[in-house]
Amino acid sequence: MSDGSTALPRWIDIGLIPILNVMMALVVSGLIIVAIGESPLEAVQIMLNGAFGYEEGIGYTLYYATNFVFTGLAVAVAFHAGLFNIGGEGQAYIGGLGAGLTILALDSLLPPVLVVPLGILAAGLFGAAWASIPAYLQAYRGSHIVITTIMFNFIASALMVYLLVNVLIKPGQMSPESREFEAGAQLPFMHEILGWFGIEVAHSPLNASIIWALLCCVGLWFFIWRTRWGYEIRAVGFNEKAAVYAGIRPAKMVMLAMFVSGALAGFVGVNEVMGVHHRLLLNFTAGYGFTGIAVSLMGRNHPFGIVMASLLFGLLYQGGAELAFEVPTITRELVVVIQGLVILFSGALAYMSTPWVTWVYVRLTRKSSVVLTGAT
Amino acid sequence: MDDPILFLVLTLDATIRVSTPLIFCAMAGLFSERSGIIDISLEGKMLSAAFVAASVASVTGSAWVALISAIGVTTCLSLLHGFACITHKGNQVVSGVAINILASGLTVVLGIAWFHQGGQTPSLPATARFMPIEFPFIETVRSIPLVGMIYKELLSGHSLLVYVAFAIVPMTWWIVYRTRFGLRLRAVGENPTAVDTAGISVAWLRYRAVMTGGLLTGLAGTYLSIAQNASFVRDMSAGQGYIALAAMIFGKWRPFTAFGACLIFGLLDAVAIRLQGVHIPVIGEAPVELIQALPYILTVVLLAGFIGKAIAPKAIGQPYLKER
C-alpha cells in the first residue's frame, strides 16, 4: 500500500509507524488538554484508573470494546474489498431493529434457546440487508458507496424515529421505547455468567456478546485469509483489473464484502439491544459506527489490531467518562476529539511519517555498517 | 393558515432562510469536487465556523470580526484537508471523516471549557449579529396586493448573508465557466495529467479550490450561529452539510442545478417543520420523518441512475501522482 517505503523492514512498516501515528494523535490530544488548562498527565492517570482501576470500570471498558470490535471489523472487511463503508452507524441501528423485532415477536412463543440465536441472526441479516442496498448501487448502478452509505445513515435514523414514535412504542408511555423483552430473551450479563461459577464481580453492562465478538474476530480472520471468497475480496480491493483477469467478478465481491460488513455492524444491536437495554430505543448506536472507522484504521484492518484498537477506544470511552466526572472543565466529547485525531493521523496522514522514518532508518543502518567496516 | 397565499409566501420565506447554509456549502463542495477533491467535511467545517463565529462575536461583540475568524478557521481546516489529500496523497474520504468527527468533538470540548454553559455559547445581543435588513419603501409598497406581500415578507427582512448566498451562485457559475481559473479547475478534476502537461501546478490549483470551499463553509457556519440564531448550540449543523453535499450531487456538480436542489431540499425542510403535528385529510398525521428523509432518498435514487445520470468529475478521489 505505501509507495515510498522501499527498504523499510516489516516491523517498522506494520509496528513502528502505526504506533507513531497514534502517538502523534495522543500528543495533539494532550496539547488540547493543556489548552483547556488541565494537566494531561493527571488526565491520563484518571482515565487509566477509571478504565482499569476497579472491576466495574473494567466491565465498562470491555463493554464499549465489544461494540468497537463489531464496527471495526465491519469497516475492515469493506476496506479489504477497497470500499469505504461509512454506513456502520445506520447498519448497527437497523441490526438492532432486526434483533428487537424478532424478539418482540417471538419471546413469549419460543424457548430462550431458540429466541436468542434467532435475535442474533436477525441483527446480522437486517444489518447486512441495509448494507446491501448501497452495495448493489455501487456494484451494478455505479453510484459512489461513500455517498450512499452516508445517506442511508440518515434514512435509518429517520426510519427508527418513525417506527419507535408511531409503531413500536409501548402504549401508555411517553418516551419512544418498546416494551421490555421477556427475561429469557435477554443475553446474560458477564457478572451473571461468572456468578454461575461462583465468581463474584461488580455489576456492569458487559454481557455475553463479547464472546460473540471474539468469535467474529476469529471467523473474520479465517474468512479473509483462509477462504477463497476472502482471497477474492482482497484481490478486488488490491487491484480490480487484475482480479477480473483472474476470473473474479468484482460486483459479486462488492456485494459479498458489504453483506459481511453490514452483518458485523448489525451485531452492535446484539450487544446494545439484547445485551444491555433489553428493549428497542432511540440512538443506542451513539456514534459507535463512526468509531469503527478509527478502530479499523488504527488496527490496520486486521482482527488482532482491531481488538487492540477496540481496547484502547474502550479505555478512552470509559476513562473519558470518568475524566468528565472528575474534572468539570473536561467533557466526554474529548474522546470524540481523540477519535478524530486518530482517524486523521492513522488514516489520512498515515504516510506522513514514512519519509522521516525512512530517513532516520537509512542514517542509522548506514552508520552502523560504517562502524562495522571501520572495525574490520 | 387562514390565508393560503400568505401561508405560501411565509413557507417560501422559511425556505430561503433554511436554504442559505445549504447554498454556501453546496457551492463550497462544488469548487472542491470540481477540482477532484472529495469534500465530505462540509458538515464539520460549517460546525466549526458556527462555533468560532458565535464565540468570537460574544467576546468581541463584532459580527464582522466573527465572520473573518470563522473564515480563517475553516480555511485552516480545508488546508489541513489539502495537506492530507493533496500533499500526502491520503484518502480524501478518511480525511473528511476525521475533520467532521474532530469538529463535532472539539466544538463541545472548547465550548464547555470556555463558556461553562453545557456546550452553548452566550446569547448574543443584536449588535453582535447579522440582523435582518429591512428594504426601503415597505410602507408604501405593502398596500399593493401580492407584490407588496412578496416584497415585505419574502424579499425583505433577511440578513446580509442570505443575499450574499444568493449572489454567490451566479458568481460561482461565472468563475467556473467563464474564467481561466474555472477552466483549469474543471480540467484538473477531469484530467490532471493534461493540466500538468500544460505546465500548471495541479497541487496549487487544488489547494486554491479547497480554500475557496473553506471560505464558503465559513460563511455558512457564521450564518447558522450569528444570523439565523443568536448563539452556538452543540451539533447545530445537524447534518445540513451532508444535505448540501447531496444537493450538490443532485445538481450534478453544476452551480444553478445545485442551487435548485438546495431550494428543493430547503423547501422540504420548511414544509416538514410547518407540518409537525398537523393532520392532513386522507393521509392522517403528516409523515414528518419521511419528508425529512426525502433529500437523502431522492439523492440515492438519483445516484442509482433512475432520474437522469449524475456523472462525477472523472478524476475525483484520486490523488495526482506525477510519474517519474
| A192-242 residue pLDDT tens | 999 999 888 889 999 999 999 999 999 999 999 999 999 999 999 999 999
Question: Which residues 154-173 of B have a C-beta within 8 angstroms of A?
Answer: none
Q: Please tell me the distance from the alpha carbon of residue B188 to that of residue A18, in angstroms, as a whole number.
A: 32
pLDDT over 70 at A3, yes or no: no
Buried/exposed code over A65-93 (b: 16+ C-beta within 10 A; e: otherwise): bbbbbbbbbbbbbbbbbbbbbbbbbbbbb
B132: DSSP letter:
E
Domain range B4-303, its CATH number among 3.40.50, 1.10.1740, 1.10.3470, 1.10.150: 1.10.3470
- Looking at the complex, report in whole angstroms how far the Cα of residue A155 sits from the nearest Cα belonging to chain B: 6
Question: Which residues 299-318 of B have a C-beta within 8 angstroms of A?
Answer: 299-300, 303-305, 310, 312
Looking at residue A271, what is its pLDDT?
96
Task: Indicate yes or no: CB of A330 within 8 angstroms of CB of B119.
Answer: no
Looking at residue B70, what is its pLDDT?
97
Count Cβ atoms within 10 A of the Cβ of residue A5 and give its class: 0-12 exposed, 13-18 middle, 19 or more buried. Answer: middle
Please report, to the nearest 10 degrees, the dihedral formed by the alpha carbons of residues B177, B47, A32, A44 taken in order. -130
pLDDT per position as a tens digit, A158-169: 999 999 988 888
Q: Are B31 and B172 in contact (CB under 8 A)?
A: yes
Count Cβ atoms within 10 A of the Cβ of residue B154 and give its class: 0-12 exposed, 13-18 middle, 19 or more buried. Answer: middle
A76's grid cell: 475492515
Q: What is the mean pLDDT of residues A324-331?
A: 88
With respect to residue A345, please indicate whether it lies within any of the assigned structural domains: no
pLDDT per position as a tens digit, A132-148: 999 999 999 888 898 89
Looking at residue A310, what is its pLDDT?
96
Q: Please tell me the distance from the alpha carbon of residue B230 to that of residue B300, in angstroms, as a whole number.
A: 34
pLDDT over 50 at A375, yes or no: no
At residue A1 the predicted structure's pLDDT band, cuts being 50, 70 and 90, is very low
Say what the ipTM of the complex is: 0.90
With respect to residue A348, please indicate whether it lies within any of the assigned structural domains: no
Q: Please tell me the distance from the alpha carbon of residue B213 to that of residue B30, in angstroms, as a whole number.
A: 8
- For chain B, residues with pLDDT lower than 50 are 1
Element (H, E) at A79: helix A55-80
pLDDT per position as a tens digit, A65-102: 999 999 999 999 999 999 999 999 999 999 999 999 99
Question: Which residues 339-358 of A have a C-beta within 8 angstroms of B?
Answer: 339-341, 343-344, 347-352
Q: Dihedrals φ, ψ of A183, to 5°?
A: -55, -35
Rg of the Cα atoms in chain A: 22
Distances (CA, A) of B303 to A84, A137, B199, B218, B298: 17, 8, 35, 28, 9
Q: Give the total number of structural domains in chain A.
A: 1
Neighbouring C-beta atoms of residue A105, cutoff 10 Å = 13
Looking at residue A368, what is its pLDDT?
67
> Is B48 touching A (CB cutoff 8 A)?
no
> Which residue is associated with the grid cell 468497537?
A68
pLDDT per position as a tens digit, B162-171: 999 999 999 9
- List of chain B residues whose C-beta atoms are within 8 Å of the C-beta of residue A347: 90-91, 94-95, 97-98
Q: Which residue of A has its CA nearest to B82?
A: A348
Looking at residue B308, what is its pLDDT?
65
Q: Which among B88, B101, B109 has CB closest to A339?
A: B101
- List of chain B residues whose C-beta atoms are within 8 Å of the C-beta of residue A162: 287, 289-290
CA angle B159, B165, B171 (to 5 degrees): 140
- List of chain A residues whose C-beta atoms are within 8 Å of the C-beta of residue B112: 329, 331, 333
Q: Which residue of B has its CA nearest to A155?
A: B293
Report chain A's mean pLDDT, rounded to a whole number: 90
Looking at residue A17, what is its pLDDT?
87
A328's grid cell: 468539570
At residue A10 the predicted structure's pLDDT band, cuts being 50, 70 and 90, is confident
Q: Which domain holds residue A176?
A: 56-302
For residue A153, what is the domain's CATH number?
A: 1.10.3470
List alpha helices for chain B, DSSP H.
4-34, 42-60, 63-82, 92-115, 138-141, 147-149, 160-178, 180-190, 192-197, 202-223, 240-250, 255-275, 288-303
Q: Which residue of B has its CA nearest to A1?
A: B90
End-to-end CA distance of chain B: 68
Q: Please tell me the distance from the alpha carbon of residue A365 to that of residue A347, in angstroms, as a whole number.
A: 28
Q: Please tell me the distance from the alpha carbon of residue A128 to that of residue A132, in angstroms, as a whole number.
A: 6
At residue A268 the predicted structure's pLDDT band, cuts being 50, 70 and 90, is very high
- List of chain B residues whose C-beta atoms are within 8 Å of the C-beta of residue A167: none
Residue of higher predicted confidence among A375 and A336: A336
Q: Are A240 and A250 in contact (CB under 8 A)?
A: yes
Q: Which of B117, B118, B130 is nearest to B57 (CA)?
A: B130
Neighbouring C-alpha atoms within 13 Å toward the C-beta of A53: 10
Looking at residue B146, what is its pLDDT?
78
Q: Please tell me the distance from the alpha carbon of residue A204 to that of residue A189, in angstroms, as a whole number.
A: 8
A185: DSSP letter:
G
pTM of the model: 0.90
Q: Are B129 and B230 in contact (CB under 8 A)?
A: yes
Task: Indicate yes or no: CB of A159 within 8 angstroms of CB of B102.
Answer: no
- Looking at the complex, report in whole angstroms how far the Cα of residue A172 sits from the nearest Cα belonging to chain B: 19
B22's grid cell: 445549504
Please report, to the nearest 10 degrees, the dihedral formed by the alpha carbons of residues B205, B211, B216, B217 taken in order. 130
pLDDT over 60 at A374, yes or no: no
Q: Please tell me the distance from the alpha carbon of residue A93 to that of residue A286, in angstroms, as a whole number.
A: 10
With respect to residue A31, please indicate whether it lies within any of the assigned structural domains: no
With respect to residue A129, please indicate whether it lies within any of the assigned structural domains: yes
With respect to residue A298, please indicate whether it lies within any of the assigned structural domains: yes
At residue A372 the predicted structure's pLDDT band, cuts being 50, 70 and 90, is low
